[in-house]
Amino acid sequence: MTAYPALRAAGATDVGRVREVNEDSFVMLPAVAVVADGMGGHASGDVASTLAVETFQRRFASINPVPEDIVEAVEAANSAITSEASRSSAKQGMGTTLTGVALVESEGAPHWLVFNVGDSRVYRLSPAGVTQVTVDHSEVAVMVQAGMITPEEARVHPLRNVITRSLGTYPAPQADTWLIDIAPDDIFLLCSDGLTGELEDHEIHEITSKTLGVGGSIDNLAQRLVDAAVASGGRDNVTVVLVTPPPSLFTAPAESDASASETDVSTSGSDVSAHHE
C-alpha cells in the first residue's frame, strides 16, 4: 500500500447561541477527516459523536486506508455506540451522524472517498460555486426527491430534523460512499447541519470566495464560516472542516522530497476535537 503525504485540513466548531452542550465532534488525521453530529440531547449525543471520531482516530492515526477500511470503521463506530448505550439506561437512544473524506488508494492510484450516514454534509468547493456531494438521510430529503416539497420548503419544514439513518442503531446503517478522482485544486467542506441550517449554499460560496480570493487560508475560512452561522442565529452546534490534497501528491517522484513527515493537518483539531461546553 502506498504511503501518501498528509492531507491539509483545518477545522472549527462552536456551541452556538441556544444549546448548552456541543454535541458535535470532529477529527483530522493524515488521510481521513470526519465530522459527527451527536443526537439525543440528554441521551448523550456528545458521547455518541465522540465515540465515532475516536474509532476513526484509533484506526487511521498513521495509515492510508483503502475504501473497505472506511466501511469497516463506520461499522466499528456503530458497534462502539450501541455497546456503550447498552451499559446505561441514560445513554439508550443516543446516536450520531457521521460524514467524512478520506485519501484512499484504489486501483493503484490516490482517490477521494466521501462517506456519509445522516444529514451532516460534504460539499466540493470551486470558483463556480458549492456542490453537495453527499445525500441527506432525512425525511425532508425523501420528500424533496419525491417532488412533494421544494428544497426551499425543506429548510423550514417541521420534519427537517428527522433523520432516517444514523449511527447507534441495530442493525448497523449502511454508509453511502463516493469514489472521486483527485485534483490539485480540490477543496472539500465537511459540516454539521448547524452550518447548513443557517447559511444557504450561495452564502457559503460568497464567504469562501471572499476569504480565499484575498489570500486567506482554509484555517481562516473554517472559522469565518462557523462565525457566520452563529451570527445568523446559531440555533444549533456548528462544525466545519476543510480538506485539500497535499501539493506534493502531484509532484513527480524525482522532484519530490516525498517526506512522510509532511503533516499539514492543521489547527488544534488534528486530535479528536469533541467540544462539550
Indicate the residue type of 234. Answer: G
C-alpha to C-alpha distance for 99 and 191, rounded to whole angstroms: 8
pLDDT for 263: 34
Residues 6 or more apart from 66 whose CB is under 8 A from it? 1, 104, 105, 106
Residue 275 within any structural domain of the chain: no
Residue 267 within any structural domain of the chain: no
pLDDT for 210: 96
pLDDT for 1: 66
Residues 6 or more apart from 136 whose CB is under 8 A from it? 118, 119, 121
Per residue in 10-34, pLDDT (tens digit) is 999 999 999 999 999 999 999 999 9
Domain that holds residue 216: 8-257
Element (H, E) at 153: helix 151-154
Residues 118/97, Cβ–Cβ less than 8 Å: yes
C-alpha cell at 19: 444549546
Q: What is the 3-state secondary structure (H, E, C) of 199-262?
A: CCHHHHHHHHHHHHHCCCCHHHHHHHHHHHHHHCCCCCCEEEEEEECCHHHHCCCCCCCCCCCC
Indicate the residue type of 139. Answer: E
Residue 21: CB atoms within 10 A of its CB come to 16
pLDDT for 13: 98
The domain tally of the chain equals 1
C-alpha cell at 161: 430534523
Digit-by-digit pLDDT tens for the chain (277 residues) are: 678 899 999 999 999 999 999 999 999 999 999 999 999 765 699 999 999 999 999 999 988 899 999 999 999 999 999 999 998 877 888 999 999 999 999 999 999 999 999 999 999 999 999 999 999 998 888 788 889 988 888 888 887 778 999 999 999 999 999 999 999 999 999 999 999 999 999 999 999 999 998 888 999 999 999 999 999 999 999 999 999 999 999 885 544 343 333 334 433 333 444 443 3
Indicate the residue type of 37. Answer: D
Residues 55/98, Cβ–Cβ less than 8 Å: no
SS3 category, 183? coil
pLDDT for 164: 93
pLDDT for 3: 83
Residue 121 within any structural domain of the chain: yes
- Nearest-CA neighbor of 33 among 277, 273, 276, 226? 273
Residue 276 within any structural domain of the chain: no
133 phi/psi in degrees, rounded to 5: -90, -45
225 phi/psi in degrees, rounded to 5: -65, -45
pLDDT for 253: 57
Residues 79/55, Cβ–Cβ less than 8 Å: no
Residue 33 within any structural domain of the chain: yes
Residue 263 within any structural domain of the chain: no
pLDDT for 261: 31
DSSP structural state of residue 109 = E
Residue 135 within any structural domain of the chain: yes
Residue 262 within any structural domain of the chain: no
Predicted TM-score of the model (pTM): 0.89
pLDDT for 257: 43
CATH of the domain at 116: 3.60.40.10
